[in-house]
Structure 1
C-alpha cells in the first residue's frame, strides 16, 4: 500500500468514524426527531434515505482495518500486534465503558457493583453505539490465523473465503426471513462473524490489482443495490406489515439496508474501491 493511500485512509477514517456515524445516530431515526407517526411523508423518507446513505461509517472502518492489519506479519510479530491493539483499542474501550456505566447507571437505583458492570459490559448494553468494539476485538483475535490465509493462500482461496462469508452472513439470514425458519448452517461455520467479509474484502481490494472492467461492474452493482435498499426499505416499511426481520423503533424495516446484508456489502465495496485507489499528489 502506497504512502498516499495510507494518508487517504486516515482522512476517510476520520469522515467515516466521525461525521457519518454522528449523522447515522442523530437524524436517521424519526422517533428521535419527534415524529410519532411513521408513514410515507417527506421527513420520514428523508430519515430513511439519510440512514442508508450514511450507513457507511462502520463498514468502511472494518474494511480499512482489514486492509491495514491483515498483513501485519510483514511489519512485526504477533505479540507486538496484540500489544498495539490492546493499547489502541481494548484499554480505551474498557475505560470509556466504565465512565459510561457510572454516568448512565449512577443516577438510577441500579446497583453499582463489579458484577453489574460485567453483566452490562458483556451484553453491550452500557453504550449502544459501542457494539462495533465487540466485533473489531473479535476480529483482532482471529487476525493471527486469518493473516496466514492472506499470506500463503492464492487469490482464488481468498475470494472463496469471501464467498463463504457472504453466503453464511448475508445469504442464509435472508432465506431464514423468507422461510420464517432458522437454518443450522448459520451457526455451523467456525470463526465467522456477521461482518468478517468486510475485513477480508478490504484487504483484497487494497492489495490486489483490480481490472477496470471489474471496477465498473462493482460500481454499477453498488448503485443498483443502493437504489434497491432505498426502494425496498420504503416499500416494506409502509406497505408490507409484519415482515419478520430487523426493524427500527417506530416500524422502519432495516432488513434491506442493514450493514450485515448483501446489498449494503455491495455498496460499501463500491465506495471503498473508489477511495482505496485514489492517488494523492
Structure 2
C-alpha cells in the first residue's frame, strides 16, 4: 500500500496500487477454489482467477521497496520509523483489536477468525500467531521489511546498488532455484540453515527489486527482458498450471520463479506503459485519490464481502460472488474509506 511521505508522485505507482488491491479482491472472492469440486468448471474458473491475481500482495511489497528504500534522501531514520509507526503499526494494532471484537460475535470471510472465548491472553496469543485476521499477514511481513530498510537505504546512500542486486540474485537462486524445486519434487532435506538467513527471507527479493526497477537500475533492454519473462511466466501460470492437468506445481508459491518473475514483469510493464502516457492533472488526482484508499480497502473488505453475501443470499460458490463482487466491493470500500478519511481523526483509522 502507498505509505510514503514527502516524495515525488509517480502515476505508475498509483496505478499499481489500484491494480494490486483489485487483484487482492479477485483472490478473496474466488475462495471457491477451496470448496468447489476439483476438475469442475467452477473449480477451473476460480483457479484461473487465483492464477491471474496472485501478484497482488507482492506488488505491494515492490511498491513499498520502490518508495521507501531511498528514504534517506527525504528524511532521517528516526523520522522514517516515526512515519512507519504512525501510518502502519498503529492502524495495524487498532484494526487487530477492532477485528478481534468483531470476531467474537460476527463473521466475515476470508480473513477474520472466530473467538468464542475472548480474553486478554487469547487476544495476545491470537495476535502473535496471526489468528485474528489471517489476511493481516501482510502487516507482519512489511513491518519486518521496515526493520531492514535502514541497512538497504545505507547502500543506496553509498551508491552501492550493485549490492542490492546481489541480494536479489541470492534471493532468486536460493528461493526460486533451490528451495522451490525441492518442494515441487517433494525432496525432504534439512534446509533450515539455507532459508533462515534474512537475505533469503521470501519477500525481501520483491521489496528490493521494486526499488531497483523504480530507480532505473536496469537498462531498457533488461527491462524488456523482465517483461518478456513475465509474460512467459503469466502464460505458464494461467494456462499450464491453473487450467492444466497433472501438473504438481504450487501456483501460489511466493518463492517460486513463476510467481516471482510474473510479478516483476507485471510491475515493469505497468511502469513502462504509464511512463509513455501523458496524464492530465485530472486523471493524476483521480489515481492519487484511489491509490490513497488501498490500505483501507485491504483492511475492511472482508466485512463488505460478507455483507454482500447476506444481502444477495449467495456464498463463495456463486458466480455473482466470483465475477461481480470484486468491482462492487472495490467501489463501495473506496467510497467508504474516502468518506472516513475526511472526518476528524479519520486519517488515523484509514491512513
Deviation at 1:180, TM superposition (A): 2.7
Partner of 2:253: 258
Indicate conservation of the 8 Å contact 1:172/1:186, yes or no: no
Change (3 A) 1:3 1:72: closer
Partner of 1:8: 12
Q: Give per-residue Cα distances to partners, 1:196-215, cap 9 Å, x unaligned.
A: 00110000000025333223
1:72 aligned onto 2:71 = yes
Change (3 A) 1:275 1:263: same
Distance 2:15 2:225 in 1: 26
Indicate conservation of the 8 Å contact 1:9/1:64, yes or no: yes
Tell me the TM-score normalised to structure 1 length: 0.84
Change (3 A) 1:109 1:59: closer
Deviation at 1:160, TM superposition (A): 1.1
> Which is worse superposed, 271-280 or 130-139?
271-280
Partner of 2:241: 232
The alignment partner of 2:198 has SS state of coil
Partner of 1:247: none
Residues 78-93 of structure 1: pairs in structure 2 closer than 5 A:
78-93=77-92
The structure 1 residue matched to 2:268, chosen from 265, 270, 273, is 273
1:219 aligned onto 2:227 = yes
Distance 1:77 1:155 in 2: 20
Q: Give 4+ residue runs of structure 1 displaced > 4 Å after superposition.
A: 106-109
Change (3 A) 1:153 1:184: farther
Aligned residues: 260
- In structure 2, the gaps of 5 or more residues are 1-6, 107-113, 279-351
Distance 2:31 2:266 in 1: 20
Distance 2:207 2:232 in 1: 23
Change (3 A) 1:131 1:188: closer
The alignment partner of 1:29 has SS state of helix
Indicate conservation of the 8 Å contact 1:259/1:265, yes or no: yes
Partner of 1:148: 154
1:30 aligned onto 2:33 = yes
Indicate conservation of the 8 Å contact 1:142/1:191, yes or no: no
1:194 aligned onto 2:202 = yes
Indicate conservation of the 8 Å contact 1:101/1:117, yes or no: yes
Change (3 A) 1:47 1:270: same
Distance 2:98 2:204 in 1: 29
Indicate conservation of the 8 Å contact 2:226/2:261, yes or no: yes
Change (3 A) 1:188 1:56: closer
Partner of 1:138: 144
Distance 2:31 2:122 in 1: 31
Deviation at 1:134, TM superposition (A): 0.5
Partner of 2:129: 123
Distance 1:175 1:270 in 2: 21
Distance 1:194 1:209 in 2: 22
Change (3 A) 1:118 1:171: farther
Deviation at 1:233, TM superposition (A): 4.6
Indicate conservation of the 8 Å contact 1:233/1:257, yes or no: no
Distance 1:157 1:113 in 2: 47
Cα RMSD over matched residues?
2.3
Indicate conservation of the 8 Å contact 1:168/1:185, yes or no: no
Deviation at 1:271, TM superposition (A): 0.9
Residues 139-178 of structure 1: pairs in structure 2 closer than 5 A:
139-177=145-183, 178=185
Change (3 A) 1:8 1:257: same
> Which is worse superposed, 166-175 or 222-231?
166-175
Deviation at 1:113, TM superposition (A): 1.8
Change (3 A) 1:192 1:30: closer
